[in-house]
Amino acid sequence: MDYRQLGRTGLKVAPLCLGTMNFGPRTSEADSHSIMDAAHENGLNFFDTANRYGTQPGETEEILGRWFASGGGRRERTVLATKLYGDMGDWPNEGKLSALNIRRAADASLKRLQTDYIDLYQMHHVDRETPWDEIWEAMSVLRQQGKILYVGSSNFAGWHIATAQGVAASLGMVGLVSEQSLYNLMSRWVELEVLPAAEHHGLGVIPWSPLAGGLLGGVLAKERDGVEGRGTANTEGIEKNREVLTAYEELCSDIGEKPADVALAWLLTRPAVTAPIIGPRTIEQLTDSLRVPEIDLDDAALDRLEELFPAPFPKGSNPAPEAYAW
């Protein structure tokens, strides 16, 4: 496994991040534990979760916590990322990024995860009501207490990243080290501002939904074979994009690779991207993705992908974020 640095940090993570959103709602606890064991056996050390994941908030973190508690160096071998922001209850201050909620949410996640520290503590969304000096002071306290090591963001705009880093620098803090964004061949809007901001400020980008909700996972072939899944259930998305998906799956067939693997391999060629999130429901889905880092898309394949899924700025223009500047 060729590990990558997470942004500008010295932290080394696998080029694929194991997403755990299915653990609980769609994958049993026993199967979830088996998937995490298989991930370690194959060198994947980067796991992502959130305090809201599960059939009820906190369930997925609890599944990870019981896996860590089973020993065998599981926690020590894992770079653990979790998130806070969403409401965990109906009472005031049980969500968002006030200093009070940051403190309480971190302590609650640590208890559920059965660990004394979180490697990467991520803000699941920007808080438009809490000032950055309050957020950074609260994160600084957690870091001084040894409860978190790094801070990341998720679903931030480029200017949110720039603002956060500016305030962090003024306080003498490291600031953000990662940004988790919606990013795939069919959704490339982050290339306008988010990716350039991340690259400039040294953030590692962690794309979520790399298969566009299953549409890039060979959905037309599955449709023909009668295989049901998240992608095939999106009939509106299939019909809207049938022509380009047909051409995409033909390209993947021509180069001898699975559509899902090509979509992930493409992300690994993008600036600032550290590791796309894979969210397997089964061990088979996990193992299917393991050879993605070995896939070398040649210039012809990359050019064809660019034709099928063009960037969100005019071809031949200046590179983002100056694509629309003179």
Is residue 70 classed as helix, strand or coil in its secondary structure? coil
Q: Is 53 a catalytic residue?
A: yes
At 232, phi and psi to the nearest 5? Answer: -70, -25
Spatial neighbors of 192 by CB under 8 A, at least 6 apart, are 158, 312, 313, 320, 321, 323
Pair of tokens at residue 49: 């979760």
Q: Which amino acid is at 298?
A: D
Is residue 18 classed as helix, strand or coil in its secondary structure? strand
**Dihedral of the alpha carbons of 262, 264, 266, 268, in degrees to the nearest 10:** -140
**How far apart are the C-alpha atoms of 258 and 326, rounded to whole Å?**
41
Instruction: Check 3, 53, 117, 324 and give the catalytic one.
Output: 53
Asked if 207 and 181 count as a contact pair (C-beta separation under 8 A), the reply is: yes
Which residues on adjacent β-strands are paired with residue 118? 148
Asked if 142 and 103 count as a contact pair (C-beta separation under 8 A), the reply is: yes
Asked if 46 and 20 count as a contact pair (C-beta separation under 8 A), the reply is: no
Pairing status of strand 17-19 against strand 277-278 = parallel
H-only helix segments in 131-183? 132-144, 158-170
Burial classification of residue 246, based on how many CB atoms lie within 10 Å of its CB (0-12 exposed, 13-18 middle, 19 or more buried)? exposed
Q: Which residues are catalytic?
A: 53
